[in-house]
């Protein structure tokens, strides 16, 4: 299972530090670049709600593996796109695949967590972050030695696709399990769907916004950190990639210790502390811009959002009375709105003002997490 999370993080991260190179080659403005990046979440939104049905039919492990292989091939196409429309279409297809793959691997990870009887989902997401860190360093290394983009992505795509295929044999067998608490017929009758639906919808909405706030911070690191470091702060190309690596690296550390923090203090307290870290860290970096402080700000933001997406996914998967994968699929689908909204907003505001102003969306996301933390559970007894 860990191998699937690792490959999913590494595949996309090998492309991210080379986005400025692709942007320059295609002659994209910040607005067009942001619109192209937004094509990925559009694809994810269109395919995301089908994930639960696909998982029930094929199994979560198999869906995660097939999606990883196809995603690796698609990212090669993104890197080699000769014109802007093909760049956007490649990202659209990547979003279609990544949405289903993401739900598949998280559904399988939550199956494994149920077997353990304690929180381990943050550990899986830590492995995803580790994969992204490794992918970012691989890409930075490829840039440093002048490895052509096509050769670089062909090698990494083949490597991680093979890893995913091997991982399939270690996935859990059998059908997907029911989510939520085990209700008896009497309990179900006492809480009919008509009375339960508004509350579940409200909780799903709150969890989705928390996840969106986390994805906004991740998307800024993925799509804009390297560009901001290079164009706004004047960092060299190899050093500019460190903005993304700082964010994703400290996200990895946060997820590595996240399960213990959640078990000790509860999802709610950890989310409040994380939101404050995002707001203060990136707020300070934007107020006093410099390369060192910006790296610290991205690191603080990565650590702060480390547990947010896993927390929202876990809480959604535990909602009572839903078919396997339904709560997880809906919240994951809505979460993709963050990846859609933020590049459009950042690109437009950046062209109208400057990129530093548009990145204020990051500390705002941290404040939003603090405000909505009540939708997450307190410490378990």
pLDDT in tens, 109-131: 878 777 777 767 777 878 887 88
Grouped pLDDT means (10 residues each) for the chain, 381 residues: 86 86 88 86 81 81 89 91 92 90 83 76 80 87 89 92 88 63 37 57 85 89 86 85 87 85 87 94 93 94 90 80 72 78 85 90 93 78 47
In a domain, 23, yes or no: yes
What whole-number distance in Å separates Cα of residue 35 and Cα of residue 97?
19
CATH code of the domain covering residue 22: 1.20.1250.20
In a domain, 181, yes or no: no
Q: For the segment 37-96, what is each residue's pLDDT rounded down to a tens digit? A: 888 888 888 887 777 788 888 888 888 899 999 999 999 999 889 999 999 999 999 989
In a domain, 18, yes or no: yes
Total-model pTM? 0.68
In a domain, 176, yes or no: no
Q: According to the 3-state scheme, what is the secondary structure of the chain?
A: CHHHHHHHHHHHHCCHHHHHHHHHHHCCCHHHHHHHHHHHHHHHHHHHCCHHHHHHHHCHHHHHHHHHHHHHHHHHHHHCCCCHHHHHHHHHHHHHHHHHHHHHHHHHHHHHHHHHCCCCHHHHHHHHHHHHHHHHHHHHHHHHCCCCHHHHHHHHHHHHHHHHHHHHHHCCCCCCCCCCCCCCHHHHHHCCHHHHHHHHHHHHHHHHHHHHHHHHHHHHHHHCHHHHHHHHCCCCHHHHCHHHHHHHHHHHHHHHHHHHHHHHHCHHHHHHHHHHHHHHHHHHHHHCCCHHHHHHHHHHHHHHCCCHHHHHHHHHHCCCCCCCCHHHHHHHHHHHHHHHHHHHHHHHHHHHCCHHHHCCHHHHHHHHHHHHHHHCCCCCC
CB 64 within 8 A of CB 104: yes
Please give the residue range of the domain that contains residue 325.
2-171+197-375
In a domain, 27, yes or no: yes
In a domain, 70, yes or no: yes
Number of structural domains found in the chain: 1
In a domain, 157, yes or no: yes
In a domain, 188, yes or no: no
């Amino acid at each position: 299972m860990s191998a699937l999370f690792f490959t999913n993080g590494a595949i996309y991260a090998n492309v991210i530090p080379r986005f400025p190179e692709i942007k320059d080659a295609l002659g994209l403005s910040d607005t067009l670049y942001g619109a192209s990046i937004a094509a990925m979440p559009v694809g994810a939104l269109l395919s995301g709600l089908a994930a639960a049905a696909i998982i029930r039919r094929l199994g979560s492990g198999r869906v995660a593996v097939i999606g990883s292989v196809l995603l690796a091939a698609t990212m090669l196409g993104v890197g080699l796109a000769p014109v802007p429309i093909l760049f956007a279409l490649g990202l659209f297809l990547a979003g279609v695949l990544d949405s289903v793959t993401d739900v598949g691997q998280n559904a399988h990870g939550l199956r494994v967590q149920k077997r353990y009887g304690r929180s381990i989902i943050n550990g899986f997401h830590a492995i995803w972050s580790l994969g992204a860190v490794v992918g970012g360093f691989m890409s930075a290394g490829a840039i440093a030695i002048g490895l052509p983009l096509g050769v670089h992505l062909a090698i990494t795509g083949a490597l991680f696709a093979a890893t995913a295929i091997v991982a399939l044999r270690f996935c859990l067998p059998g059908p997907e399990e029911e989510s939520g608490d085990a209700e008896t017929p009497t309990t179900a009758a006492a809480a009919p769907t008509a009375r339960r639906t508004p509350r579940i919808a409200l909780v799903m909405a709150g969890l989705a916004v928390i996840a969106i706030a986390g994805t906004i911070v991740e998307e800024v690191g993925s799509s804009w950190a390297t560009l901001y470091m290079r164009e706004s702060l004047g960092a060299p190309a190899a050093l500019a990639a460190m903005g993304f690596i700082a964010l994703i690296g400290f996200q990895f550390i946060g997820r590595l210790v996240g399960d213990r923090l959640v078990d000790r203090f509860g999802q709610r307290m950890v989310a409040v502390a994380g939101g404050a870290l995002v707001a203060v860290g990136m707020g300070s970096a934007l107020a006093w811009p410099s390369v060192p402080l910006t790296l610290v700000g991205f690191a603080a933001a990565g650590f702060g959002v480390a547990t947010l997406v896993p927390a929202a996914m876990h809480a959604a998967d535990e909602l009572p009375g839903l078919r396997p994968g339904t709560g997880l699929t809906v919240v994951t689908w809505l979460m993709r709105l963050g990846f859609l909204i933020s590049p459009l907003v950042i690109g437009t505001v950046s062209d109208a003002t400057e990129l530093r102003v548009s990145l204020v969306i990051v500390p705002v996301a941290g404040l939003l997490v603090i405000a909505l933390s009540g939708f997450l559970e307190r410490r378990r007894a």
